[in-house]
Amino acid sequence: MPGYYFGIDEYFLMFIIPATIFSLAMQIMVKSAYKKQSRVGNARGITGAMAAQMVLDASGVQNVRIEMTHGRLSDHYDPRTKVIRLSEGVYGAASVAAVGIAAHEAGHAAQHARKYMPIKVRNAILPVCNIGSMLAVPLMVLGFMLDFFGLVTLGLALYALIVVFQLVTLPVEFNASRRALRAIEGQNMLQGGELAGAKKVLTAAAMTYVAALVVSLANLLRFMLRFSRRR
């Protein structure tokens, strides 16, 4: 029954609470780093949009547009339309944080252009992961309610694939940051301590993906242990 499945137990206390605390700490860290470095202007006056274009040019990537989008920390690269969308606080801002974030998103565009293998793997399993994110837990709950452990197993398999997706996401994100920092340093976009500030923002952002993986692993382990105990 759902109460059994979602209720607080020793596994929740052992795995979910520590993972959640870690995730919250990483979210606070990235927001703090962004807030601090968004207040630091870069000496060359390079905006986020300019930085993204410089990384694209340095990577030999063409036919990728750069647009402004609404929201805070809503920056992303859309490979379907080949558009880098930068938030209002990044697109036209000449801050250290803006340069780092924009260069990172341009790094994703370079990955797609260069057919970077981890991003190909991530994109290949994405459709199934989207289905799994909607069906995994309901299937497990239904399986427990009906004592039909085949459904529980299917739900576990779908949830495990979500964990795999998040695991593959880590090299994608870290590689995009490395590409960004190489381009920033190579083209002297940031000077003196500015580069260190950009690294702090990108490192904090990358740790949020690590935290997401930790939470998913904690949930998967809890699901598996509960399934094993129920059987």
Catalytic residues: 105
CA angle 12, 26, 46 (to 5 degrees): 160
Asked if 127 contacts 184 with a C-beta cutoff of 8 angstroms, the reply is: no
Which residue, 218, 226, 201, is CA-closest to 96? 201
In whole angstroms, give the CA distance from residue 186 to residue 57.
12
H or E segment to which residue 65 belongs: strand 65-69
CA dist list (Å): 66 to 49, 102, 112, 131, 184: 7, 10, 15, 30, 18
Contacts (Cβ under 8 Å, ≥6 apart) of 51:
98, 99, 102, 103, 106, 184, 189
Contacts (Cβ under 8 Å, ≥6 apart) of 45:
94
Task: Give how far the C-alpha of residue 19 lies from the chain's centroid of Cα atoms, to the nearest Å.
Answer: 16
